[in-house]
């Protein structure tokens, strides 16, 4: 009897949309004393997309022959993933490599999901709606924060929506908003849907304007230029693939009017938009200088390990522990340039693989655009626009260090890879005889892998939940309980913030307890060593303070002179004028002190010269350098 072939099942597109919306919503809504927005999103995205990828594998037909279509697009991006995975063997910090690899694994799983979706027009419309709803959620929460601030969500800078940082909140929107034009031009979107779409898109743009992040503004402008340019080039064939009517005209004009009206208001009331633009532009110089300093440190790291880098997630470790940090670049968790950070992690080889992957991605999308299916070519062109805008943004920010942009990129890559296979010949096609046991082993392997990833995330969830509880109930001295088996990349930053908070209110035991854990993991953490030495001096444990200060002086970041100044202050307290003068002159004669010292460092030094008779003669020199650094 002839065997009936089982019909191929496809993943329900609503599950992908639901996950995107969920990732947009989730945040530390309740554990607000210790907030880690990006981590909450990373474990929801990582576990969620892993489960969806596993579902797609379970839905595959267990045929006796399995075909593998190998394209240059797949080869280039898979090679980059493999290089990142192998970097664990030369990583300077294996724990951080695992943390970063989990984000890359999210991208891989999203690629699998996107590759296995049914790519008809109805699916693309549903997917676009789902992703746009996720973007609308981000913008809606952010606008409410900006206007009314009704939530307890912590924000580094408002409006941060559910991301804790307004810069981070714009990353997914840059990747999603162009899809609104795919829906707007579709003949399937009519009547009230058009008004809902256009008004919501206007609010997305209002949120991006309120965020006042120059990287997102530049990215949106670049995306708009690409879209307008494409429409101009295709102007003679627009009617073939664009559905337009009076309703869409009225809705679009109303949305434009709403946008132009709202950008003239800020959280205080009426404020002409040009004033906001001028304000944002005025800070460009100082912000740009900060970025250049970070990038200079990143370039130094790449030069030190040029070929294969120092492992995924190693930027933060190199900055704090490997002597690359400076006074101004001392505890930055990210390089604020994804291309440079990739170079730090996997070297020039990794950067080249990324650029090769981008070339083949462009080639695949342009092949799709040239085909006769006008609806499809518009959708994939907008995907290209979205990724181009995001790639522009990543030169000034860090979208792909975060879960949601990483998920979206993997999803888009999967869609493009699948669609382009119809038009681009395979490098190699394999047809392999398989058995039911083979398919079962693949499923079990992925199940075990996703369970391991989930277990690591659960351990980190326990870490931050316990830390929040200890902070809330005043038991932070038990902080050793929160240290996970695999150190999460963001944990040192969180612990440092906790220590700083207690240091400011003079709760010394709590500071020492937290800094002990920081120094166990990172013995060369300048600021933690300074706090420890400072507290030892306050407790009159001068021998321990001197010992720590001497060590701090030998490993201090470039331009970090707090250890030297604390040494002078201890000599003052213990009334050792000769040693004070010797240490003072040694510091003053350092060739880079006057050039690199901060204003606060010079002010502290000035106070010392004013209090010590033997150092009065140097007061004018210090004062002049402080007033005109």
For residue 581, what pLDDT is reported? 87
Half-sphere exposure of 430 (CA within 13 A, CB side): 7
Q: Where are the domains of the chain?
A: 13-437, 490-627
pLDDT at 351: 98
pLDDT score for 283: 62
How far apart (Å, rounded) are the C-alpha atoms in residues 90 and 75?
A: 23
Check whether 614 has a pLDDT greater than 90: no
User: What CA–CA distances, in Å, run from 350 to 108, 353, 366, 406?
Assistant: 16, 5, 24, 17
> What is 490-627's CATH number, 1.25.40.10, 3.10.300.10, 3.40.50.850, 3.40.50.1370?
1.25.40.10
pLDDT, position 256 = 97
What integer pLDDT is reported at residue 169 of this predicted model?
95
Measured distance CA(129)–CA(447) in Å, rounded: 30
pLDDT attached to residue 242: 87
Instruction: Compute the CA torsion angle 599, 604, 605, 608 (nearest 10 deg).
Output: 160
At 241, is the pLDDT very low, low, confident or very high (cuts 50, 70, 90)? Answer: confident
In this predicted structure, the answer to whether residue 274 has a pLDDT above a threshold of 90 is no
Instruction: Tell me the average pLDDT of the chain.
Output: 90
Question: What's the confidence (pLDDT) of residue 26?
Answer: 94
The 10s digit of each residue's pLDDT in 39-68 is 999 999 999 999 999 999 888 766 666 777
Angle at CA of residue 196, ends 168 and 407, nearest 5°: 30
**Other residues' Cβ atoms within 10 Å of the Cβ of residue 188:** 11
Residue-level pLDDT at 5: 46
Place of tokens 């880079």: 592
Helix (H) or strand (E) holding 431: strand 428-433
For residues 399-408, average pLDDT? 97
| Two structure tokens written together for 240 | 């073939």
108 pLDDT exceeds 80? yes
Q: What is the pLDDT of residue 286?
A: 61
Lowest mean pLDDT among 150-154, 185-189, 285-289, 543-547: 285-289
| Crossing angle between the packed helical segments 338-369 and 403-420, to the nearest 10 degrees | 30
Q: Name the least confident of 16-20, 24-28, 351-355.
A: 24-28
pLDDT band at 33 (very low <50, low <70, confident <90, very high): low
pLDDT band at 238 (very low <50, low <70, confident <90, very high): confident
- pLDDT tens digits for 473-489? 899 999 999 999 999 99
Confidence class of residue 34 from pLDDT cuts 50, 70 and 90? low
- In this predicted structure, which of 250-254, 325-329, 377-381, 602-606 has the lowest mean pLDDT? 602-606
- Split at pLDDT 50, 70, 90, the class of 591 is low
């Amino acid at each position: 009897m002839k065997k009936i072939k089982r019909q191929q099942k496809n993943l329900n597109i609503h599950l992908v949309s639901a996950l995107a919306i969920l990732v947009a919503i989730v945040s530390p809504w309740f554990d607000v004393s210790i907030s880690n927005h990006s981590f909450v999103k990373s474990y929801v995205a990582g576990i969620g997309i892993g489960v969806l990828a596993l579902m797609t594998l379970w839905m595959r037909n267990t045929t006796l022959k399995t075909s593998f279509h190998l394209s240059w697009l797949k080869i280039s991006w898979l090679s980059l993933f493999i290089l990142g995975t192998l970097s664990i063997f030369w990583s300077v910090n294996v724990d951080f490599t695992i943390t970063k690899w989990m984000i890359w694994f999210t991208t891989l799983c999203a690629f699998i999901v996107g590759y296995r979706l049914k790519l008809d027009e109805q699916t693309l419309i549903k997917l676009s709606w789902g992703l746009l709803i996720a973007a609308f959620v981000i913008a809606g929460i952010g606008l409410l924060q900006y206007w009314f601030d009704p939530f307890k969500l912590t924000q580094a800078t408002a409006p941060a929506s559910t991301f804790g940082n307004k810069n981070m909140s714009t990353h997914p929107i840059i990747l999603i908003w162009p899809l609104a034009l795919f829906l707007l031009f579709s003949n399937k979107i009519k009547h009230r849907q058009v008004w809902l779409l256009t008004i919501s898109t206007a609010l997305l743009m209002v949120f991006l304007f309120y965020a006042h992040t120059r990287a997102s503004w530049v990215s949106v402008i670049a995306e708009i230029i690409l879209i307008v340019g494409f429409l101009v080039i295709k102007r003679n064939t627009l009617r073939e693939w664009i559905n337009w009517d009076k309703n869409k005209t009225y809705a679009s004009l109303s949305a434009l009017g709403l946008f132009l009206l709202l950008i003239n208001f800020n959280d205080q009331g009426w404020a002409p938009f040009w004033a906001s633009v001028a304000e944002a532009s005025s800070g460009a110089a100082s912000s740009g200088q900060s970025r250049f300093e970070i990038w200079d440190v990143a370039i130094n790291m790449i030069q030190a390990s040029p070929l294969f880098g120092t492992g995924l997630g190693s930027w933060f470790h190199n900055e704090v522990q490997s002597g690359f940090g400076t006074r101004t670049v001392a505890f930055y968790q990210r390089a604020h340039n994804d291309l440079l950070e990739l170079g730090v992690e996997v070297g020039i080889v990794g950067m080249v693989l990324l650029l090769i992957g981008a070339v083949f991605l462009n080639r695949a999308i342009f092949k799709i655009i040239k085909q006769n299916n006008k609806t499809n070519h518009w959708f994939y062109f907008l995907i290209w626009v979205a990724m181009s805008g995001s790639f522009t943004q990543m030169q000034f920010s860090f979208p792909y260090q975060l879960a949601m942009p990483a998920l979206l990129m993997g999803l888009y890559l999967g869609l493009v890879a699948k669609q382009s296979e119809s038009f681009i010949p395979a490098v190699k096609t394999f047809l392999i005889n398989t058995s039911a046991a083979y398919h079962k082993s693949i499923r079990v392997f992925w199940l075990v892998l996703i369970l391991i990833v989930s277990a690591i995330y659960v351990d980190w969830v326990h870490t931050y939940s316990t830390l929040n509880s200890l902070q809330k109930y005043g038991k932070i001295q038990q902080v050793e309980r929160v240290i996970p088996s695999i150190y999460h990349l963001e944990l040192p930053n969180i612990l440092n913030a906790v220590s700083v908070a207690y240091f400011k209110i003079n709760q010394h035991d709590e500071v020492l307890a937290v800094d002990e854990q920081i120094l166990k993991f990172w013995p060369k953490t300048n600021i933690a060593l300074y706090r420890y030495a400072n507290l030892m001096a306050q407790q009159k444990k001068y021998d321990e303070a001197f010992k720590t200060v001497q060590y701090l002086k030998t490993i201090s970041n470039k331009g970090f002179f707090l250890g030297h100044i604390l040494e002078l202050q201890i000599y003052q307290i213990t009334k050792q004028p000769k040693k004070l003068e010797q240490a003072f002159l040694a510091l003053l004669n350092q060739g880079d002190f006057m050039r690199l010292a901060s204003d606060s460092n010079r002010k502290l030094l000035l106070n010392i010269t004013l209090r010590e008779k033997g150092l009065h003669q140097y007061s004018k020199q210090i004062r002049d350098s402080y007033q005109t650094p």
